[in-house]
Amino acid sequence: MTSMILLAITFLCISFIMMTLANILSKKSFIDREKSSPFECGFDPKNSARLMFSLRFFLIAVIFLIFDVEIALLLPLIMTYNSSNIFIWLITSLLFILILLIGLYHEWNQGALEWAN
C-alpha cells in the first residue's frame, strides 16, 4: 500500500516538474510587431482579420451532428429486431424515437430551424 502511494507521489512530482519546465522553456524571449500581426507582408491591415461567423450556421451544424449521431444509434435497433423480445424492442425503439421527436419539436419551437429571419 505504501509503495503505491510512494509511486503516485513520484509520478505527480515528475509530471509537475515536466509541466513547469515546459512552461518556462516555451516562453518567447522577444515580441516582434510584424510577427504578431495577422499579415507578414509588411502592410498594416485596414480592418480586423477576423471574419464574423454566423451563429445560425453553427446552430444548424450542431443540430445536424446531434441528429446524425442519433440516426447512427438507431441502426443497431434494426439489427437486433430478430434476436430480441418484440415487446421490449418496440417499447425501446418507440421511446427513442419519441425523444428524438420531442427534441425536434423543441428546436422547431425555439426557431433554430428557420434559416432566414
Tens of pLDDT along 5-39? 999 999 999 999 999 988 888 866 566 666 666 66
| Residue at 46: amino acid letter | K
Closest CA to 63 of 106, 98, 93: 106
- Give the residue, 103 or 54, on which the prediction is more confident: 103
Backbone angles phi, psi at 39, to 5 degrees: -115, 130
What pLDDT does 8 receive? 92
Percent residues over pLDDT 90 in the chain: 19
Residue 2 cell numbers, joined:
505504501
